[in-house]
Amino acid sequence: MSQSRRLVVVMATLAALVALPATASAESSPSSSSAAASVQKSVGKAAKAVKRMKRAARRHNGGSVARQRKIARTQSAAATRTARGMASSASTSLETIAAAQALTLAGAQVDQLVEAITAIVDQVTGRVQALVAQAIEAALAAKQKVVQILMGLLPQLPAQVQPVLASIITALSVGDATEVVNMDAALRLGELPVAVAGIVRQSLAMATAIMDQAFSMIQSILPLLPAAAQGPLSQVLNMVTSIVGTIVPSVLQTVTGLIDTILGSLPFVSGTSAPGGAVGPAAAGVGIASGMTGLMMKFMGGFFGGRTAPAT
């Protein structure tokens, strides 16, 4: 996952808490707070393991890659399992928002894991390479499940919070195509063993199918997204619909990069204000939307001005 996209989903979900309507002011239960802390702890451990795994792959240390991969998978699974439990047991608006926040953090971490293992699958060899390849499908399925649960939570939230969660769903589901590009590149090199290549090819087909489904899903919730994003996203989605099934990975990554840009320029992400006029916590962050508007117009010109889409 790109750094900007990770900040989009995390800062936007934090802004959801600020945007909570005054009518839902009851405190969350102790069990919900404990579960949220557990998710954050697991996500932190998984993030460290992913970083160590990538460093080990660069050093061609297969044993360390295998160990860190296992830790990352275990901790990511623990985070998603706890977050899913929070969603199923939520009975108030605050608890539902807390569950959405936990699911966002867990989903973003799983996405980071997917990006990492697809990037290193051609950097390792032997049994470790097979283990890494086999982990891709499970991670893709885990992230898709998180998105599906977030979709289920969407109508349960107050109207003021729905645009934030709709933006989070968009960011998690179609905000990045790095894993598709990684797997396509690994296969194009032609250096993967036959068995591993078969696993990666199957995972690539799965990832592409998930992306196609995600574009349709986002089209269905477009009216719930912030008004500023609806027009640009509608243009992107209409373009994707016209070429679905034939879009190449490099162009797909450019399309999803544009979506990332659109989301990154939203007020509750860039730190100006959250829905309802409250100041978002991203104001204390790193200002990820700096220069985003100009970049968005550049991309828009490339896609909709009759010129070829820029390669990424």
Cα–Cα distance measured from residue 312 to residue 308, given in angstroms and rounded to the nearest whole number: 12
Threshold 0.85, pTM exceeds: no
Above 90 in pLDDT, residue 26? no
Q: Please, which pLDDT band fits residue 93 given cuts at 50, 70 and 90? A: confident
Whether 161 contacts 20, CB under 8 Å? yes
CA nearest to 73, candidates 132, 154, 146 = 132
Cα–Cα distance measured from residue 110 to residue 144, given in angstroms and rounded to the nearest whole number: 10
Cα–Cα distance measured from residue 174 to residue 237, given in angstroms and rounded to the nearest whole number: 11
The tokens describing 272, both together, are: 């100006």
- How many CA atoms lie within 13 Å of 109's alpha carbon, on the beta-carbon side? 31
Above 50 in pLDDT, residue 279? no
Stated length of the chain = 312
Q: Please, which pLDDT band fits residue 25 given cuts at 50, 70 and 90? A: very low
Q: Name the residue type at position 31.
A: S
Query: Residues 227-236: pLDDT tens digits?
Result: 888 998 998 8
| Long-range Cβ pairs for the range 55-62 (8 Å, 24+) | 57/120, 57/123, 57/124, 58/123, 60/123, 60/124, 62/124, 62/125, 62/126, 62/127, 62/128
Domain ranges of the chain: 3-225
In the chain the first and final C-alpha atoms are separated, in Å, by 15
Among 120-124, 165-169, 174-178, 240-244, the least confident range: 240-244
Q: Please, which pLDDT band fits residue 249 given cuts at 50, 70 and 90? A: confident
Residue with tokens 């050093």: 59
Neighbours of 114 (CB within 10 A): 27
The tokens describing 244, both together, are: 């679905």
pLDDT at residue 308, as a whole number: 38
Cα–Cα distance measured from residue 151 to residue 166, given in angstroms and rounded to the nearest whole number: 8
The tokens describing 130, both together, are: 């097979």
Neighbours of 255 (CB within 10 A): 24
